[in-house]
A and B are shown apart, each in its own frame.
Chain A
Amino acid sequence: MATVADLRYGQKGIIKDFTEHILPIKLLELGCLPGNSVELLQIAPLNDPIYINLSGSHLAIRRSLAELIELEIIEETQAK
């Protein structure tokens, strides 16, 4: 199963429906809800943390947290 931690530079994904309620509530409040998109913007030196655009919220989160967010990777389209 792909997670946010698997995204490559500039790649996007759509958050999957999650049944397990392991995600911190704060993430949900910032827009981490099923169906919303996540885009990876930057990876910090030493590979951690990562900088994402979570349906409009620009956030840095640690990899350990990113691994909890399951998603479906969509290849980014050219039109932007």
Chain B
Amino acid sequence: MSKNINVALIGNPNTGKTSVFNQLTGLKQKVGNYPGITVEKKEGVCKLPRGVKAHILDLPGTYSLNTTSLDESLVVELLLNKNDKDYPDVAVVISDVENLKRNLLLFTQIKDLKIPTILVVNMADRMDRKGISLDVEAMEKKFDTKIALVSTRKNTGIERIKELIADYKSISSRPILDPTRISPEYFDRLKKTFPQEDLYKLWLVITQDVNFMPIEKKRIQDATDFSTKSKDDLKKLQHKETVLRYQLINNILKETYKVDFMAAKGLRASLDKILTHKIFGYLIFFAILLLIFQAIFDWSGYPMDFIDEQFAMAAEWIKNTLPPGVFTDLLAEGIIAGIGGIVIFIPQIAFLFLFISLLEESGYMSRVVFLMDRLMRPFGLSGKSVVPLISGNACAIPAIMATRTIENWKERLITILVTPFTTCSARLPVYLILIALVIPEGTVLGLSYQALTLMLLYLIGFGMALLSAMVLNKILKIKSRSIFMVEMPTYRLPLLKNVVYTVIEKTKSFVLGAGKIILAISIVLWFLGSNGYSEDFQDADRIVTERIENEGLSIYSKNYIQNNVASYRESVEAEGMSPSALQDSIQVLTTELSERAVAQEIASYKLKHSYIGQAGKAFEPIVKPLGYDWKIGIAVLTSFAAREVFVGTLATIYSVGSDEEETIKNRMAAELDDSGKPLFNLASGISLMLFYAFAMQCMSTLAIVKRETNSWKWPMIQLGFMSVFAYIIALIAYQILI
């Protein structure tokens, strides 16, 4: 017979809950040495001995059942609601052997809810280093539970957890502290008023912070008007409860838990002396940021060139192998080009995630919070805002999720609102291609102009985030009391496995997510680009041929022929061909090129009068003042789904309008405006980059902001403000530079 058991993994932050979860379920949730990596419920399944199946729940860390922030309140909500489908049959409290005393506080609280509770003492591998010894058997007896001594790093003790869970019926669910000891008089009255209810549970419901459990709390107050204690009095009782619990724990640990301080060695003290030093601390942090930049913008160049070539070859191959036709064009020119436009950024994105993951896994992130807190405060932010602001450079979505650890609602809201200004990886494709096109190659002080531009764009994004935070801090009238507190975990050598998983998972989801959107948009655009209803579209052949007969080829085509002839001449001259033969072959080439140019002009005329062309033309007046033509306008518009489709959109549009096999960059460089000058010039390029720096072009971010702020108000304000602002700045930039 098989039965599903509900298991909840609960514990203080950073004790290894997710590591245990991953071991039990074989999943690969994110693990990191920073309190508050997990901010959501995560589920998995684990096969237990004797054919039992367990449904395992990984939860955010919490110090106790008296919650003060959103991620913590998830745990309490679950434990107080017996009807929740995830309500645990058995709770597994994961504790860290180095902080056992504090971890046990939560353990005793959960046990008092009369849930069968297993105690996992994790990080057993560190006991020797820290000189810790434990009398597990005596502890089991005193705490009336079963204990598993575990190290997820050394992979020991996991089987024991499974055994204990499978055997959960034999685990005691007796409470450990009599709640009436907190205040005999008060609990007596509670008992009289609610004879049916469990006293400790009732107490937790009553004392939950109003912000987090409005519904539960209301129910009880309404029913009885049980307002006999002021908030202060309740708080006093909570203090009393904590003291009582610690007394109990201390008494037991005195006999069962020994630390030999002489044997304890730790890197923490000496490393912290340097890493959080008043001067060196900042210097090191700054150096690390520089290193990350260097990696992303320099080292990743090699693999990127490689990927670029592979995609060009793939497109070429498809064109040559598949029968020519509509479908082949779409595949080779639209889709492959579009996907290639994303895949090429894998090295950079992987580097970014690698560094962020290393910062988190080593324990350094908490030190950054410590160093930055005071500096962030004038902006209405907290030191904890730095983590979202840094990881926002990879992607705003996990960054906004990470704000859940910020206790103060105002600081949290401001962080959520300004994070989308940081330069997320989706902006990179746009920046890099534009920089390569419009910024000259020279260097100043050993730094290339191009690298400097990119650096500047990052600074602008970050600066804008800070600036708008400052403004929001002034105008938002939200009162919320804040207790800033962050744990400084011991330093750990990052576990290669964890880091690699994080990098692979994040990169994969970035590519797949973007890939899907690009695929869809490419197909739609391509269809709209190769069809049209107007006479101009249907009669394109005739109209263009007539025009060429009357006026000759366009400047674009003339340039195209000239350039090709010139490079041909150069290559054969080197071979030493006779002048007359040269003349003849150039003649042949020119005719060939002109034919091709005519075909191309017809194609681009068709594009201009296709559905997409007409839509673009209608939209053009809006983007014209920024220096964009209708094709860029379409790319900007589709980017509101997600920024990274910019390059793919242009690739698709250009490919419909030409039959040349070229890299997208060359294609963009060849694009001319009405007066025959390159369309992507310094002015329009800068204007585009600034537009992308500020505009809120990401549907997923808007959706996540809606979820985290629980209203459409904030995402709509973000969308409106950021986009209008982006437009104005781009306009000013173009008009000044042109």
Contact = CB atoms under 8 A, between A and B. Distances in A.
Interface of A: 21, 23-31, 33, 41-49, 51, 56-62, 65
Determine the interface band of chain B, counting residues with CB < 8 A from chain A: 35 or more
A46 B51 CA distance: 60
B485 A61 contact: yes
B102 to A, nearest CB: 6
A60 to B, nearest CB: 4
Given A29-B66, A60-B488, A51 B370 contact: yes
Given A21-B235, A29-B64, A61-B485, A45 B278 contact: yes
B483 A44 contact: no
A26 B269 CA distance: 24
B125 to A, nearest CB: 19
A51 B489 CA distance: 12
Contacts of B236: 21
The residue in B235, B369, B370, B383 that gathers the most chain A C-beta atoms within 10 A of its C-beta is B370
Chain B contact surface mostly: helix
A45 B282 CA distance: 9
A58 B366 CA distance: 11
A61 B272 CA distance: 16
A10 to B, nearest CB: 10
B203 interface: no
Contact of B485 (A26, A41, A42, A46): A26
A46 B489 CA distance: 23
Nearest to B366: A60
A27 B344 CA distance: 48
A56 B100 CA distance: 10
A50 to B, nearest CB: 9
B640 interface: no
A47 to B, nearest CB: 7
A46 B375 contact: yes
Contacts of B63: 26, 29-30
A58 B96 CA distance: 14
A39 B594 CA distance: 83
A44 B239 contact: no
A49 B371 CA distance: 8
A56 B105 CA distance: 14
Contacts of B246: 33
A80 to B, nearest CB: 8
Interface in B484-503: 484-490
B179 interface: no
18 contacts: A29-B105, A29-B242, A30-B485, A33-B246, A44-B370, A45-B281, A45-B282, A51-B370, A57-B99, A58-B487, A59-B488, A60-B366, A60-B373, A60-B484, A61-B485, A65-B483, A65-B484, A65-B485
B232 interface: yes
B172 interface: no
A25 B239 contact: yes
Contacts of B366: 60
B411 to A, nearest CB: 12
B238 interface: yes
Given A25-B66, A25-B235, A45 B485 contact: no
B547 interface: no
A65 B369 CA distance: 17
Given A29-B105, A30-B485, 15 more contacts: A21-B236, A25-B238, A28-B243, A30-B102, A33-B246, A42-B273, A44-B371, A49-B374, A49-B383, A51-B272, A56-B98, A56-B102, A58-B487, A60-B383, A62-B484
A58 B243 CA distance: 20
Chain A contact surface mostly: mixed
Interface in B241-267: 242-243, 246
B238 A58 contact: no
A51 B488 contact: yes
A51 B483 CA distance: 15
A46 B102 contact: no
A44 B279 CA distance: 10
Nearest to A9: B273
Contacts of B489: 58
Given A33-B246, A49-B373, A56 B485 contact: no
Interface in B72-113: 98-99, 101-102, 105
A67 to B, nearest CB: 13
Given A46-B374, A49-B370, A31 B485 contact: no
B485 A59 contact: yes
A68 to B, nearest CB: 10
A47 B374 contact: yes
B403 interface: no
B68 interface: yes
Contacts of B239: 21, 23, 25, 28
Contacts of B232: 21
Closest 3 CB pairs of A and B: A58-B488, A46-B374, A60-B370
A57 B15 CA distance: 13
B3 to A, nearest CB: 36
Contacts of B362: none
Interface in B644-687: none
Given A21-B235, A60-B488, A26 B373 contact: no
A49 B387 CA distance: 17
Contacts of A33: 242-243, 246
A42 B374 CA distance: 14
B139 to A, nearest CB: 18
A67 B107 CA distance: 30
A67 B568 CA distance: 80
Contacts of B101: 31, 56
B571 to A, nearest CB: 62
Nearest to B369: A60
A24 B370 CA distance: 20
A57 B370 CA distance: 15
